[in-house]
């Protein structure tokens, strides 16, 4: 406990010194982070290969590319993001300066996840640095090689006091959560999310929780099945199904279920060849505990394709389940593995009802040639994010906030949304000490005349043109004189 107090204490002292606040310093640190990613690319790729069997090009496109893109965007846009944001004024404040100022929250904690262990630590870190905070970084201990590398590299490139890295498992994380932070961003499962939120509540610390859930994928009969299934196959089986916004299950009409299976099987052969296990593009389950958990979800299910496993290498082949009961075990929890259940529904209405009976998912996917049907599903359901006629791609658009709702999380980040998550939007109004007579209507003693003038100026909607404001200003002076 004492060690965690010292780490957080040093970070807070460094933040209180004010050195993380100037934009020049923030951009300098972001440039150093960019240099780290570029110079240590081979080491990062090797760690991801060791943890998840990610081949070089997959690891680069899934993890490094997103970090470099986020860094480039943030460094380019930070001056405009951090600038005071003027707001519209009413008659009573039209001579004053009114704006929203962005100020850093203080010392924040970023707890990463093991499934994308580099990008899911770095992207929040970028936003927190950009906002001017001190950041305690806690990578997931499950992806131990990447965690070790992050702890080794960050102090070589970034300010050691402002951006410390803490490694370790549950005991270390528990001690860390006992400390007071000004914001916590956690990526992981709902059960641990509740623990994080409970710990944060003791200090009234706000949280951003990026959790998971069972993200549904509805396929309409009026759809190009070959294209739809290729896109679904890519999103479901990338990273061996260990993606928080992977399509968790398919909803479709019974009449197209067999066609969906055949199209996915064809695509799997196209992607990974005859022998999936030897494909360099197919990853592995992170460890034996998760291997056994995913394996347990197959019990009693009708396997239409796949099902082959190898515990020694944590290999589970891409698997499709058909005629799945909504009450089965595989439909109770997030799968987080290469297993794709298909549940049949007879209409879009039934699909919407099915989705709404369950907890709100982190993502939702709809495939149809009918854009109105897609928009209907969007309007009649709720999820953290949604993509129509594709999967996962909303994650890669930095102008869209990435986050959950309900059991799938709260808050969001990516691009400007990261900067705002780690900033306090401060309401600022600066007046002068002149024209005191115009304030008479708000000072005691009260009168009906003062109330009537206040209603006139605050409740009326006026032409915003300059001449209109000029006339209103004259009215304000007249009102002040009459009240006096």
Query: Residue 74: which of 114, 115, 120, 132 has the closest Cα?
Result: 132
Contacts of 197 (CB under 8 A, 6+ apart): 207, 209
DSSP conformation letters of 24-80: HHHHHHHHHHHHHHHHTHHHHHHHHHHHH---HHHHIIIIIHHHHHHHHHHHHHHHH
Q: Residues 217, 244, 252, 314: which is the catalytic one? A: 244
Is 244 among the catalytic positions?
A: yes
Cα(89)–Cα(79) distance, rounded to whole angstroms? 24
Burial 132-150 (b: 16+ CB within 10 A, else e): bbbbbbbbbbbbbbbbbbb
User: Where are the extended beta strands (E) located within 62-128?
Assistant: 85-86, 97-104, 107-111
Is 240 among the catalytic positions?
A: no
CB-facing half-sphere around the CA of 78: CA atoms within 13 A = 26
Inter-helix orientation angle 23-39/41-52, to 10°:
70
Contacts of 166 (CB under 8 A, 6+ apart): 4, 7, 136, 137, 138, 172, 176
Cα(185)–Cα(412) distance, rounded to whole angstroms? 9
Cα(367)–Cα(40) distance, rounded to whole angstroms? 40
Q: What sections of 381-441 are H helices per DSSP?
A: 416-421
* Angle formed at CA 115 by CA 66 and CA 238, multiple of 5 degrees: 75
Q: What sections of 357-483 are H helices per DSSP?
A: 371-380, 416-421, 448-459, 466-483
Q: Residues 34, 210, 283, 334: which is the catalytic one? A: 210
Cα(73)–Cα(196) distance, rounded to whole angstroms? 30
Residues 286, 143 contacting (CB under 8 angstroms): yes
Q: What stretch of H or E contains 403?
A: strand 402-403
User: 427: helix, coil or strand?
Assistant: strand
Q: What stretch of H or E contains 316?
A: strand 315-316
Percent helix / strand / coil, the chain, rounded to 5: 50, 15, 35
Q: Report, as residue numbers or ranges, the catalytic residues.
A: 210, 244
């Amino acid at each position: 406990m004492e060690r965690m107090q010292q780490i957080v204490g040093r970070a807070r002292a460094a933040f209180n010194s004010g050195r993380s606040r100037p934009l020049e310093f923030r951009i300098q640190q972001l440039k150093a982070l960019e240099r780290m990613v570029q110079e240590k690319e081979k080491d990062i790729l090797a760690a991801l290969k060791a943890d998840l069997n990610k081949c070089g090009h997959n690891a680069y496109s899934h993890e490094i590319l997103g970090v470099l893109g986020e860094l480039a965007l943030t460094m380019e846009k930070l001056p405009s993001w951090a600038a005071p944001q003027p707001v519209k004024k009413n008659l009573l404040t039209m001579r004053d300066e009114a704006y929203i100022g962005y100020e850093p929250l203080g010392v924040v904690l970023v707890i990463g996840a093991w499934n994308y262990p580099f990008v899911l630590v770095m992207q929040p870190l970028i936003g927190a640095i950009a906002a001017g905070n001190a950041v305690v970084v806690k990578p997931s201990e499950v992806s131990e090689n990447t965690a070790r590398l992050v702890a080794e590299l960050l102090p070589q490139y970034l300010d050691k006091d402002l951006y410390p890295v803490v490694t370790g498992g549950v005991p270390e994380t528990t001690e860390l959560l006992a400390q007071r932070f000004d914001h916590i961003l956690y990526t992981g499962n709902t059960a641990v999310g509740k623990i994080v939120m409970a710990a944060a509540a003791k200090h009234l610390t706000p949280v951003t929780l990026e959790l998971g859930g069972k993200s549904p994928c509805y396929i309409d009969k009026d759809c190009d099945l070959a294209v739809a299934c290729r896109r679904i196959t890519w999103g479901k089986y990338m990273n061996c199904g260990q993606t928080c916004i992977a399509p968790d299950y398919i909803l479709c009409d019974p009449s197209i279920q067999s066609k969906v299976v055949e199209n996915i099987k064809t695509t799997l052969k196209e992607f990974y060849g005859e022998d999936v296990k030897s494909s360099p593009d197919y990853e592995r389950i992170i460890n034996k505990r998760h291997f056994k958990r995913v394996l347990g979800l197959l019990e009693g299910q009708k396997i239409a394709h796949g099902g082959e496993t190898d515990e020694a290498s944590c290999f589970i082949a891409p698997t499709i389940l058909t005629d799945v009961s909504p009450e089965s075990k595989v439909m109770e929890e997030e799968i987080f593995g290469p297993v794709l259940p298909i549940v049949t529904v007879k209409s879009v209405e039934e699909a919407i009802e099915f989705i709404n009976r369950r907890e709100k998912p982190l993502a939702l996917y709809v495939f149809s040639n009918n854009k109105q049907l897609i928009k209907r599903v969007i309007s009649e359901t709720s999820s953290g994010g949604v993509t129509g006629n594709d999967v996962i791609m909303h994650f890669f658009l930095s102008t869209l906030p990435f986050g959950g709702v309900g059991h799938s999380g709260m808050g969001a980040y990516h691009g400007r949304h990261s900067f705002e998550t780690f900033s306090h939007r401060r309401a600022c109004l600066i007046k002068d000490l002149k024209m005191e007579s115009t304030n008479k209507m708000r000072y005691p003693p009260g009168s009906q005349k003062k109330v009537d003038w206040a209603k006139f100026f605050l409740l009326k909607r006026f032409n915003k043109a300059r001449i209109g404001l000029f006339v209103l200003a004259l009215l304000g002076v007249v009102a002040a004189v009459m009240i006096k």
